[in-house]
């Protein structure tokens, strides 16, 4: 066992797969000599060399164009888009080329491609460098979307993403890069499309993703101390989506709360709310409640950003108020 930060787990997960498979390559801005702007690729250039770890120009279109071509011709590239906000610069390649070309060639081409990116707010980077874009990616047919919340899941889900024959958007929560946990030694491989139940309670189900997971766990403990016992689910994978686990746990408690960093309009929680309403309406004991960031550009001012992003206090107060009405 070793104590690893979230950012160290990224490098370990990539290195594990690069050692296993020589077709795995890494490219992006500053991923080589600098070890990544968020220090998520430290040591990879030294171990695997400049052929397999390539620094690129500041051009998201060039990065993903090269990665797409590499995937089409037999490699398994990992491409970094430094900030998830910058998907807007290269979204045509992602949505109209990478996501659709396997379908449009009737499977003659596969796209074993991972696009990893720093996602979310909480670090005072302002509206153009703090967006949570998981709902952008989730709505595009042909993409798989993964958002880990801890170092262990980073390694296992990175391995599963690299080994997958479809393109995967792998979103790394910037606010979690410095978080730590004990991680076992040896190879770690997870499975896409499986949520994790991190805590079980009988009164309500909290469903969270990414940076909202640790907040939901703290909120659940505080709620438990106040007599409201909560289940906490880490969604982990938006596409494929583990609806079976969500439905089972919501049916068990009868109450459902989503905790989302993305803006409220068209967030992933809206889709889950729709599914639960259709499949388990008569098992609900109250209205589904979504705890989200407002539909606004995220402020850079610390007090305003903290107010916008769901906090432990807001989760506790929202659940308490809903359960008591």
Sole residue written with tokens 């729709």? 274
Q: 141 — alpha (psi -120 to 50), left (phi > 0) or beta?
A: beta
Q: Helices 44-52 & 6-20, crossing angle to 10 degrees?
A: 50
Q: 236 — alpha (psi -120 to 50), left (phi > 0) or beta?
A: left
Residue 16: phi and psi, rounded to 5, are -55, -45
Please say if 295 is a catalytic residue. Answer: no
Q: What is the DSSP letter of 175?
A: G
Euclidean distance between CA atoms 269 and 274, whole angstroms: 8
Q: C-alpha dihedral over 225, 217, 261, 85, to 10 degrees?
A: 150
Strands 237-239 and 144-146, by their bridges, are antiparallel
| Residues 6 or more apart whose Cβ sits within 8 Å of residue 321 | none
Residue 311 tokens, joined: 């906090």
Euclidean distance between CA atoms 129 and 214, whole angstroms: 22
Question: Which one is catalytic: 52, 129, 174, 215?
Answer: 129
Neighbours of 268 (CB within 10 A): 25
Among candidate residues 237, 231, 234, 227, the one with its CA nearest the CA of residue 251: 231
Euclidean distance between CA atoms 254 and 23, whole angstroms: 47
Active site residues: 129
């Amino acid at each position: 066992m070793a104590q690893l930060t979230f950012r160290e787990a990224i490098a370990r997960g990539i290195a594990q797969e690069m050692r296993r498979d020589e077709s795995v390559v890494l490219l992006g801005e500053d991923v080589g000599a600098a070890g990544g702007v968020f220090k998520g690729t430290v040591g990879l250039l030294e171990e695997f060399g400049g052929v397999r770890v390539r620094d690129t120009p500041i051009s998201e279109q060039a990065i993903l164009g090269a990665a797409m071509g590499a995937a089409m011709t037999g490699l398994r590239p990992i491409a970094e888009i430094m900030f998830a906000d910058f998907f807007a610069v290269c979204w045509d390649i992602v949505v109209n080329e990478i996501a659709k070309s396997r379908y449009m060639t009737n499977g003659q081409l596969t796209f074993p491609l991972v696009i990893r990116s720093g996602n979310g707010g909480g670090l005072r980077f302002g509206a153009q460098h703090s967006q949570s874009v998981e709902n952008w990616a989730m709505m595009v047919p042909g993409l798989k979307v993964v958002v880990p919340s801890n170092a262990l899941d980073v390694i296992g889900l990175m391995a599963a993403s690299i080994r997958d024959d479809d393109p995967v958007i792998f979103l790394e929560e910037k606010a979690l890069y410095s978080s730590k946990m004990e991680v076992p030694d040896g190879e770690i491989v997870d499975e896409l499309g499986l949520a994790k139940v991190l805590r079980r309670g009988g009164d309500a189900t909290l469903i969270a993703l990414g940076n909202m997971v640790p907040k939901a766990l703290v909120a659940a403990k505080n709620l438990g101390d106040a007599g409201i016992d909560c289940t906490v689910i880490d969604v982990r994978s938006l596409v494929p989506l583990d609806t079976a686990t969500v439905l089972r746990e919501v049916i068990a408690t009868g109450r459902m709360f989503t905790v989302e960093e993305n803006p409220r309009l068209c967030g992933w929680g809206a889709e889950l709310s729709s599914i639960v309403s259709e499949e388990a309406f008569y098992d609900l004991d109250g209205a589904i409640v979504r705890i989200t960031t407002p539909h606004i550009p995220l402020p850079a001012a610390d007090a305003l950003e903290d107010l916008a992003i769901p906090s432990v206090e807001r989760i506790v107060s929202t659940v308490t108020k809903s359960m008591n009405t």
